[in-house]
Structure 1
Amino acid sequence: MRNGNCLHRRGFLALGGAAILAPQLPSLAEAKISTQTPLYGISVFGDLKYQSDFKHLEYVNPDAPKGGRIVPQASSIVYNQNFNTFDTLNMFVLRGNGPYGMGLTFASLMQSPADELSSAYAYVARSVTVSDDKLTWQFEIDPEAHFHDGTPISPADIVFSLKVLRDKGHENLASSLRQMESVEALGNDKVVVSLLPDSNISTVLTIVGCPIFSEKWWEGRDFEATLSEAPLGSGPYRLRQYSFGSYIEFERVPDHWAAKKPIMIGRYNFDRIRYEYYRDRTASFEAFKAGHIQFREEFTSRSWATDYNFPAIIDGRIKREEVRDETPSGGQAWFFNTRREKFADPRIRKAIGLMFDFEWTNANLMYNSYERSASFYEKTEYKATGTPDAAELAIMEPMRDQIPAEAFEEPYVPPKTDGSGRVRNLARDAVKLLTESGCKLEGGRLLLPSGEQLALEFLDDDNTFEPHHNAFVNNLRSIGINATYRVVDASQYALRRRDFDFDMTISRFSMPLYPHRFIKQLFGSSSANAPGSFNLAGVANPAIDEVLEKIIAAETPEEFKVASRVMDRLLRAEHYFVFQWHKASHWLAYWDFYDKPAIKPKYDIGVIDTWWTRPDRISATGMSG
């Protein structure tokens, strides 16, 4: 599946930007957070990987040549972006469908590298000082930082940006920024951010990763309106040309103000980056075969196993690679819309989940390429196993009357089938659960306690996964559930997800692996009915809210691990999701005129960030580059 989450570990910082270093300044970890000493970097847990005198990031080639272009297929979306179309140039608001790549045009206060999980280094801010209570953060602005028109980035621009994103930005960003008590300019070179008492450093990581806008450029413009003119930026790229719903192209800023800073050396090497939009995956794959798309990450096992046999593959003009994926896999699942009364009972949700035959699906549709997921914390130490230990029980016992008894047992793992496609035993278990919930089977129809037949519509915007749904649908129909699969166009799909107008839909989210308020956007009651939030399931559970607060307030890795495992137990016991699958590698295919560093960034594939063009190979592919 495509990665439908977004604000992940690097957040906006991964989308474009550069960093500068204040020589010989300590990191936040080194200063133990009790300081008025200027810091060059901050980290939630542990020491920063890079010292103040580092020359370049470990995973780049400092001598990488600039030039050429790349046309990648985007594999993840954030805020209001849509995989299949765009109709506004503002990706940071709820309205419209934003384009890929606009983040490349903006700088931010600090930036995170792709080989650390919870750190950020100075960028537009040359340094930051922190109050002893960690609630006041003072950023000193680099005098060299400027917008693409040559005007300097001022404290007023930063204050404007943080306030407008807090007040009018997309909910998945604004919710974190509302933890700011105030943000003010101090003189001509400083910005002071004061946080609410219940905030922590994770709030700061969101703040320092926000795009910086020009206040003057936005004068007289409505930030929430559809935008057809690119906002003035200050990142390593600027918009070159676009056509709504068709393509968008960016060009590298050759004299970017931070181009020679250590954290920028060897990065953002392509002169042009272009994204093409197609109506579905079949069309985009044909575009890749023809060279209109030049880099593709494949997410469909059937395609990877059977479709990569065309001439450009056979004669070596296109390379295929399977690259180890070291990132936590997160959770890909069908999400129940529990705002709808028919899904209010967890027994009904569990029964529906029992009817998904992963083993048959994996063998017959996915070439046994995947492992079954059972958690949002796959491939991490935060996934719950066994019965709760003493530390977990210390959190759970005071809430025992609010927690399902199942949460105190070994965490729920979907049962395995024999892969034959016959799920009679699971069907019996499902019908038993449904009967216990007050449903009854009459004339081959499964009736809810209200007397209505239980109907379930799977919503999607692409028919690639129709076979996977069909097998699930048929199993559900066998126990009297009126299950259907519906594909709608990209704009309607985005709108229906935004307004929670669905029964079940698919998405994938990776959990923050350090205390971060973003997790409330996924599972918090406050986000359950906020249009556009990532809380697709509508989780609004007081016990889960309490555990979320413990995750956010954790001050040590151990506290965070314990609270996260409790969260995992509760989510799995409530059956808000039918988990799908994950794998431990990336499937990459690209036209063979690119090169890359010897070291891959641990938490990214690094294509846009670190690859470069080999002009001497272009003619051999029959391409124009």
Structure 2
Amino acid sequence: MTSIRTATTLTTILSSLALLVTSSTSLASEPPADNAEPRHGIAMHGTPKYPDGFSHFDYVNPDAPKGGTFRRAVVSNGFDSFNPFVIRGVAATGISSYLYDTLMASSADEPFSAYGVIAESLETPEDRSYVIYNLRKEARFHDGEPITAADVKFSFELLTTKGHPLFRNYYADVDSVTVENPHRVRFDFKETTNRELPLILGQLPVLPAHYWKDREFGENGLTPPVGSGPYRISDFEAGRSITYERVPDYWAKDLPTRKGRYNFEKIRFDYYTDDTVALEAFKAGNFDFRVESSAKNWATAYTGPQFDNGSIITEAIQHHRPAGMQAFAFNTRREIFSDPRVREALAYAFDFEWANKNLFFDQYTRTDSYFANSELASSGLPEGRELEILETYRDQLNDDVFTEVYTPPTTDGQKGLRENLRKALELLRSAGYEIRDGKMVNKSTGDPLAFEFLLAQKTFERVVLPFKNNLARLGVDVSVRLVDTNQYVQRVRKFDFDMTVQGIPQSDSPGNEQRQFWYSSNVDVPGARNYMGVNDPVVDELVDLLIQAPDRKELVYRVRALDRVLLHGHYVIPNWYLDKDRVAYWSTVERPKNTPKNGVDPDNWWMKP
């Protein structure tokens, strides 16, 4: 089954994938507040790992050969747009990462550090109340036009006014943008406590103002746009395939942040509507690389002569990135899910242990935190600094935040599921429900406790149907609705669902993106990522505190406090995670010897000459 991967950059937020331990190499200490001198890179907390003048990231092969066509598959109903920055339509895979350069790029082996791409350097004071980016004079769009500070300002204003709602939240603390000269742009901030802003503004995709001047943003459809990144669109078949070709005179190819990356001459994505068909196509040699999301497939399907003779290589590669939260998500905008006791009760009907043993070949670990597989995850009872933070809100929080260790219901033990269903029944009764004629109904209204589970992946039916059957023993009526990808995307964007499977990715350095997930102001904003409809002033304040964390140590405490409050809100039924990337690839492809903390990134791979 799917194990959601996590992300830290804006690009990975847009594409729902991610890559983010350090060595002793470091830069000189940051300049004092009144001396914002140019620097090549910046860390969220402390100093960046890679010094000024570094040649390449440690996890790439700087001598990787260029060439070949790298073929991949996408399981989806297709695409209808080349614009990944708006809420309308379904963008083709790879657009944001391959077509557009950003001011800076993050490394994959640090919690959160950024180094120059379009920006040769940046200047920011100790309080990070502003940031100035000094642009490289050689930076060019694909049509040969130079990238200027005016393009940066244009991109910021376009994306925050006409782009996806996430941009407005992500950059909400920017007060003004000033073009100081053609290669120097300044951002001033409303708050001096938001230390992440110089880094996340570095993730800003820079769009060509001259191209969009006479075009309507969001109406571009399938007209290939002008970009500045390592690839451009060479050909496509609407909704079925897209091929990117490496820009031969790519202006940034020798930069330290680009060396050893983007080695394939062409990258082709073919779209499949069924994952089983995609797997067989891979085994037949129709594409080169596959990340396996199904535990059953991984245990049973990777057999045959091409595996025996080494033509196809399979590896489960360890990673150390936060797993985030994959879960059955309640839409608390729905009246039936407005009571946390109801949500907690339904969680007792999900038998993870049975699923892991009978469906997943015991490959997964149960998720018990929104920041699982990291030091950011809360555990035990709150104490020390975390307790101090939570005490501020004691009158607004349930006592169980302080007195009960959050643990997802388990069927381990002698009583198993029967005992869990008994607890669920007690909670439902306390929430005003009772059994009538075999159905769970509201005592006051007589309305049945019934809901629809919305799915886009057929493979999830084998997990959801046993959950449905367990709920039926409580008199809860569940219908399972499988829709195509496009319909699913549109319904989730409009919060038109009762329950669905959602992944909430997290990075090792959470920050401004948390507003998209939890802010009350995003409850009714179409396209926002507050899927569950979290509407809690305490959560809002904890998110603000997290963004304002002055150092790594304090960030960890604040994230743990937020995690604990969310867990005790019972907004989701946690699923599982895997701390390995299960990959299969034909032996014509090679990968670097070093795998960074964030795990596998095929953009660092190459084709054998």
TM tier relative to shorter chain: over 0.9
Distance 1:465 1:444, change over 3 A: same
Asked if residue 435 in structure 1 is aligned to residue 434 in structure 2, the reply is no
**Equivalent in the alignment of 1:554:** 549
CA distance in 2, matches of 1:522, 1:64: 39
Q: How does 1:57-456 map to 2 (within 5 A)?
A: 57-73=57-73, 83-103=76-96, 104-131=98-125, 133-197=127-191, 200-418=194-412, 423-448=417-442, 449-456=444-451
How many angstroms apart in 1 are the aligned matches of 2:581 and 2:514? 25
Are 2:518 and 1:528 aligned? no
Say if 1:355 and 1:476, in contact at 8 Å, map to a contact too.
yes
Equivalent position amino acid for 2:151 in 1: D
Do structure 1's residue 574 and structure 2's residue 569 form an aligned pair? yes
- Partners of 1:14 and 1:524 in 2: CA distance: 16
CA distance, structure 2, for counterparts of residue 403 and residue 276 of structure 1? 49
Cα distance in 2 for partners of 1:301, 1:332 equals 15
Match of 1:538 in 2: 533
**Contact 2:345/2:428, CA 8 A, preserved across alignment:** yes
Please report how far the alpha carbon of residue 422 of structure 1 lies from its aligned counterpart in structure 2 after TM superposition: 6.2
Q: Counterpart of 2:178 in 1: which secondary structure? A: strand
Distance 1:45 1:209, change over 3 A: same
Matches within 5 A, 1:510-525: 510-525=505-520
> 1:520-564: CA deviations, max 9, x gaps?
111111222111111110101111111111111110222111111
Deviation at 1:604, TM superposition (A): 3.0
Give the match's secondary structure for 1:360: helix
Asked if 2 retains the 8 angstrom alpha-carbon contact of 1:168 and 1:174, the reply is no
Q: Give yes or no for contact 1:29–1:42 (8 Å, CA) kept in 2.
A: no
- Counterpart for residue 49 of structure 2: 49
Q: Counterpart of 2:387 in 1: which secondary structure?
A: helix
Structure 1 residue 385: Cα displacement? 1.6
The answer to whether the aligner puts 1:483 opposite 2:478 as a matched pair is yes
Query: Matches of 1:140 and 1:13 in 2, distance apart?
Result: 25
Q: CA deviation at 1:5?
A: 7.3
In structure 2, what is the Cα distance between the partners aligned to 1:5 and 1:83? 18
Look up the match of 2:579: 584
Q: CA deviation at 1:336?
A: 0.3
Aligned partner of residue 546 in structure 2, secondary structure: helix
Change (3 A) 1:527 1:510: same
For residues 434-468 of structure 1, give each alpha carbon's deviation from its aligned partner in whole angstroms, at most 9, with x where no partner exists. 00001111111001243211112111112111111
Q: Are 1:505 and 2:500 an aligned pair? A: yes
Change (3 A) 1:362 1:421: farther
TM-score, scaled to structure 1:
0.92
Displacement of 1:33 after TM fit?
A: 5.7
Q: Does the aligned pair in 2 maintain the 1:148–1:234 contact within 8 Å?
A: yes
Cα distance in 2 for residues equivalent to 1:132 and 1:592 = 49
TM-score by length of 2: 0.94
CA 48–333 in structure 1, closer or farther in 2 if over 3 Å, else same: same
Cα deviation digits, residues 160-198 of structure 1 (max 9, x gap): 111101111111233112322111211222111111126
Structure 1 gaps, min length 5: 17-25, 75-81, 616-625
> C-alpha displacement at 1:576, in angstroms?
0.3
Q: Deviations over 1:492-539 (max 9, x none)?
A: 100100000111111222324335111111111122211111111010
User: In 2, Cα distance between the equivalents of 1:233 and 1:421?
Assistant: 60
**Offset, 1:57:** 1.3
CA distance in 2, matches of 1:606, 1:94: 26
TM-superposed deviation, 1:69: 1.4
- Cα drift, residue 420 of structure 1: 9.4
CA–CA distance in 2 between the matches of 1:14 and 1:62? 27
CA contact (8 A) 1:13 1:210 kept: no
3-state DSSP of counterpart to 1:277: strand
C-alpha distance in 2 between matches for 1:577 and 1:267? 38
SS of the equivalent of 1:363 reads helix
- Alpha-carbon offset, residue 595 of structure 1: 1.2
Which amino acid is the alignment partner of residue 50 of structure 1? Answer: Y
Pairs aligned (count)? 597
CA contact (8 A) 1:9 1:513 kept: yes
Once the two structures are superposed, residues 58-103 of structure 1 have per-residue CA deviations (whole angstroms, 9 ceiling, x without a partner) of 11111111000111245xxxxxxx9442100001110000111112
Answer yes or no: is the 8 Å Cα contact 1:217–1:232 preserved in 2: yes
Structure 2: state its 5+ residue gaps.
16-25
SS at match of 1:361: helix
Q: What SS class does the counterpart of residue 379 from structure 1 fall into?
A: coil
CA distance in 2, matches of 1:541, 1:87: 37
> 1:423 is paired with a residue of what secondary structure?
helix
Is the 8 Å Cα contact of residues 91 and 97 (structure 1) preserved in structure 2?
yes
Residue 515 of structure 1 contacts residue 553 of structure 1 at CA under 8 Å; is this kept in 2?
Answer: no
* Residue range with higher mean Cα deviation, 391-400 or 413-422: 413-422
Does the 8 A contact of 1:455 with 1:482 survive in 2?
Answer: yes
Kindly indicate whether the alpha-carbon contact (under 8 Å) linking 1:88 and 1:228 is maintained by their aligned counterparts in 2: yes
Distance 1:422 1:14, change over 3 A: closer
Distance 1:409 1:420, change over 3 A: closer
**TM-fit CA distance, 1:591:** 1.1
Highest relative contact order (Cα 8 Å, sep 6+), 1 or 2?
2
Taking the aligned partners of 1:178 and 1:213, their CA distance within structure 2 comes to 20
Report deviation, 1:105. Answer: 1.1
Q: For 1:397 and 1:37, how far apart are their aligned partners in 2?
A: 40
Instruction: Give the Cα–Cα distance (whole angstroms) in 2 for the partners of residues 53 and 107 of structure 1.
Output: 20
Match of 1:9 in 2: 8
Q: CA deviation at 1:225?
A: 2.1
Measure, in 2, the Cα distance between the counterparts of 1:177 and 1:549: 13
